[in-house]
C-alpha cells in the first residue's frame, strides 16, 4: 500500500484532476490511498469570505461565496459520471448552504473565533475529496470517499490541532486500510480532523502533508508520496535563485531542517509519523510525473558535498535582550524563554554573550507584548526586514573549514547573526532582506560548483 497526497494546484481544475487520476491509475496495483488538499486557493477564499462577513459586509461575502460555488461546480461537472452528478451536485449545494448559514452567524458575532476558522476552512477539503472520488470513478477506478474527520482524531487546539495518534491509527486501520486492501481507492481530505466529541479541527496551514503521513503510518504504507508542482527538493529556493539542482535522496533529519527553515515543498511536521514508522517519503511533480523527484529516507545519505541544500526565510525579526544582570545570573535565560512560551512564539536562532541574548522570530503577532514583558527585566531592541539563510547537510558536523568557506563566499555581505543548530545538521546566517539574493547566489556557487551525482541531478 502507498499513500498519494495531491496539493491544491494539483486538483485546481477539471484538467488538473484528470492528470491526478492518470497518475493514480498508473499506480493502482500498489493499492493507493489518496489524500487531497482544497482545490486551488479555495481555503484562502473561504477565509476571506468569512472575514467579509465578520466585518458586516454580508452582501459582498454572499457574492464571493456564489463565485466560489460556481467555480467548484464548473470544475467538478466535467469529471463526474452522469449517474453520479445528482448526488455530487446535492453534496456541493448542501455544503454551500451550510457555509452561508455560518456566514450569517459570523456576521452576528462580528468576530472570527478559532473554532469557526476551523469549521469554515474545512469545507475546501471536504468538497475536493468528494469531487476527486467521483472523478476517479469517472475515469474507471473504484473509489470511496472517506470524511477525514471520521478517522483523524485530534486534541482541541483549534487551527493548530495535534493528532491523538493511538485513536487515529486505530480508526485508519479499521476504516481506510480495508478499502485499499480490497482494491478500491479511499480518498480523504487533508488538513482536517475532529475532536473526540466531534468538533471539526485543522492541523494548521500546509497540514495536508501531515495528514498524508498520518494516514501512511496508520495503514502501514510502504511509501508516502507528496505530489506537488515542483520536481522535488532543490539545492536552493527557486524563488530566490533559479537554476538549482534536484536533490535525489536526502535523510529525514535534513528534510526536517529544510522544511522548518523555509523549504515550501514539505510541511515540517510531515516527517514525524514517517520517521516513527520508517516509511520513505517521496516528493513528486504532478505536472511532470516521469521525474523521479526526491526520496526522503531514515538513514544518513553519504555525499561528497557537505551541504545538501540552502533554505531561506524572509521577513525575520531579531530581538536583542541586554542586561548586566545576566552576568553569572542563574535562571535569566529561562525567564526570557518563558516570555516567548507564554505568547506561543517560536524562536529560530539564538546567540548569547555574557550580558546579551539575540533571538530571531518569524511570527510577530505578539511582538509588542513580548517586548513589553522583556523590558521589565532588561533593555530590549528589535530589528525587522531580516532574512534567515540555512545551510543543511549531514556532513556539516564533520567538515572542517565549512564556516570559513561560507564567510569567504559572503565577504561582501554583512552577517547579523550566525549559529550552528543543535542537530549539527545546519549552519544558519542572518542577513538583511536586501542582501538575500546576493548571499544565496554566492553560497550556492561555493558549495554546489561540483556535485555528487549519486545525490544530485545536474
For residue range 272-283, list pLDDT tens digits in order.
898 889 999 999
Residues composing the chain = 458
Q: Which three cell numbers stand for residue 450?
A: 561540483
21 has pLDDT over 70:
yes
300 has pLDDT over 90:
no
* Non-local CB neighbours of 402 within 8 Å, separated by 6+ positions: 306, 307, 391, 396, 427
- How are beta strands 281-285 and 223-228 bridged, if at all? parallel
CATH 3.30.2130.10 given to domain 309-457:
yes
Instruction: Report the DSSP beta bridge partners of residue 321.
Output: 357, 380
Helix (H, G, I), strand (E, B) or coil at 105: helix
239 has pLDDT over 70:
yes
268 has pLDDT over 80:
no
Instruction: Report the DSSP beta bridge partners of residue 24.
Output: none
Confidence band for 315, pLDDT divided at 50, 70 and 90: very high
Instruction: Report the DSSP beta bridge partners of residue 427.
Output: 391, 420
Helix (H, G, I), strand (E, B) or coil at 310: strand
Q: Would you give the end-to-end CA distance of the chain in angstroms?
A: 32
Specify the pLDDT at position 119: 96
Domain with CATH 3.30.2130.10 in the chain: 309-457
Contact 395, 424 (CB under 8 A): no
- How are beta strands 379-392 and 456-457 bridged, if at all? unpaired
* Non-local CB neighbours of 47 within 8 Å, separated by 6+ positions: 117, 120, 121
Q: What is the mean pLDDT of residues 432-456?
A: 96
Confidence band for 405, pLDDT divided at 50, 70 and 90: very high
Contact 215, 207 (CB under 8 A): no
CA-wise closest residue to 272 among 159, 162, 348: 162
Q: Regarding predicted confidence, which is higher, 225 or 269?
A: 225
Specify the pLDDT at position 263: 75
Lowest-pLDDT choice from 248-257, 296-305, 415-424, 429-438: 415-424
Specify the pLDDT at position 422: 61
Specify the pLDDT at position 392: 94
Confidence band for 264, pLDDT divided at 50, 70 and 90: confident
Domain with CATH 3.40.1160.10 in the chain: 2-229
What phi, psi does 263 have (nearest 5°)? -65, 120
Specify the pLDDT at position 328: 58
Q: What is the mean pLDDT of residues 88-103?
A: 96
pTM exceeds cut of 0.75: yes
The string of pLDDT tens digits covering residues 143-154 is 999 999 999 999
Alpha helix (H) residue ranges in 268-351: 271-277, 332-342
Specify the pLDDT at position 323: 83
Q: Is the dihedral of CA 280, 284, 289, 291 positive or negative?
A: negative
What's the CATH number of domain 2-229, 1.10.3720.10, 3.40.50.300, 3.40.1160.10, 3.30.40.10? 3.40.1160.10
Residue with the three cell numbers 494546484: 9
The string of pLDDT tens digits covering residues 173-190 is 999 999 999 999 999 999
Contact 36, 125 (CB under 8 A): yes
74 has pLDDT over 90:
yes
Specify the pLDDT at position 326: 63
Helix (H, G, I), strand (E, B) or coil at 434: helix
Amino acid at each position: 500500500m502507498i499513500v498519494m497526497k495531491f496539493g491544491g494546484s494539483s486538483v485546481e481544475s477539471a484538467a488538473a484532476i484528470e492528470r491526478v487520476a492518470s497518475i493514480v491509475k498508473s499506480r493502482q496495483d500498489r493499492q493507493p490511498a489518496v489524500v487531497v488538499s482544497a482545490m486551488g486557493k479555495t481555503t484562502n477564499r473561504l477565509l476571506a469570505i468569512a472575514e467579509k462577513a465578520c466585518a458586516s459586509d454580508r452582501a459582498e461575502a454572499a457574492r464571493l461565496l456564489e463565485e466560489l460555488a460556481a467555480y467548484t461546480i464548473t470544475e467538478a461537472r466535467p469529471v463526474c459520471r452522469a449517474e453520479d452528478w445528482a448526488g455530487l451536485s446535492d453534496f456541493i449545494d448542501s455544503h454551500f448552504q451550510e457555509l452561508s448559514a455560518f456566514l450569517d452567524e459570523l456576521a452576528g458575532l462580528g468576530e472570527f473565533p478559532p473554532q469557526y476558522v476551523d469549521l469554515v476552512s474545512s469545507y475546501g477539503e471536504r468538497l475536493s475529496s468528494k469531487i476527486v472520488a467521483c472523478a476517479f470513478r469517472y475515469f474507471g477506478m473504484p473509489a470511496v470517499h472517506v470524511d477525514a474527520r471520521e478517522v483523524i482524531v485530534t486534541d482541541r487546539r483549534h487551527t493548530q490541532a495535534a493528532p491523538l495518534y493511538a485513536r487515529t491509527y486505530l480508526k485508519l486501520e479499521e476504516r481506510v486500510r480495508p478499502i485499499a486492501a480490497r482494491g478500491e481507492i479511499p480518498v480523504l481530505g487533508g488538513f482536517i480532523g475532529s475532536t473526540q466529541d466531534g468538533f471539526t479541527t485543522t492541523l494548521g496551514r500546509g497540514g495536508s502533508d501531515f495528514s498524508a503521513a498520518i494516514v501512511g503510518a496508520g495503514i502501514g504504507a510502504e511509501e508516502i508520496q507528496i505530489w506537488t508542482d515542483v520536481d522535488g527538493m532543490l539545492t536552493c529556493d527557486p524563488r530566490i535563485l533559479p537554476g538549482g539542482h534536484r536533490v535525489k535522496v536526502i535523510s529525514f533529519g535534513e528534510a526536517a531542517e529544510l522544511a522548518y527553515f523555509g523549504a515550501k515543498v514539505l510541511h515540517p511536521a510531515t516527517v514525524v509519523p514517517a520517521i516513527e514508522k520508517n516509511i520513505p517519503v517521496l516528493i513528486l511533480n504532478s505536472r511532470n510525473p516521469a521525474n523521479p523527484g526526491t526520496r526522503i529516507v531514515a538513514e544518513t545519505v553519504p555525499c561528497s558535498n557537505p551541504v545538501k541544500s540552502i533554505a531561506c526565510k524572509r521577513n525575520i525579526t531579531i530581538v536583542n535582550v541586554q542586561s548586566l544582570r545576566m552576568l553569572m545570573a542563574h535562571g535569566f535565560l529561562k525567564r526570557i524563554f518563558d516570555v516567548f512560551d507564554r505568547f506561543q512564539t517560536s524562536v529560530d536562532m539564538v546567540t548569547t554573550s555574557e550580558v546579551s541574548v539575540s533571538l530571531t522570530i518569524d511570527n510577530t503577532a505578539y511582538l509588542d507584548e513580548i517586548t513589553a514583558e522583556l523590558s521589565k527585566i532588561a533593555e530590549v531592541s528589535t530589528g525587522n526586514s531580516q532574512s534567515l539563510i540555512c545551510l543543511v547537510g549531514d556532513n556539516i558536523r564533520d567538515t572542517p573549514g565549512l564556516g570559513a568557506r561560507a564567510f569567504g563566499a559572503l565577504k561582501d555581505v554583512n552577517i547579523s547573526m550566525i549559529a550552528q543548530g543543535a542537530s549539527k545538521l545546519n549552519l544558519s546566517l542572518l542577513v538583511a532582506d536586501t542582501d538575500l539574493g546576493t548571499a544565496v547566489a554566492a553560497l550556492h556557487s561555493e558549495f554546489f560548483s561540483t556535485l555528487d551525482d549519486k545525490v544530485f541531478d545536474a
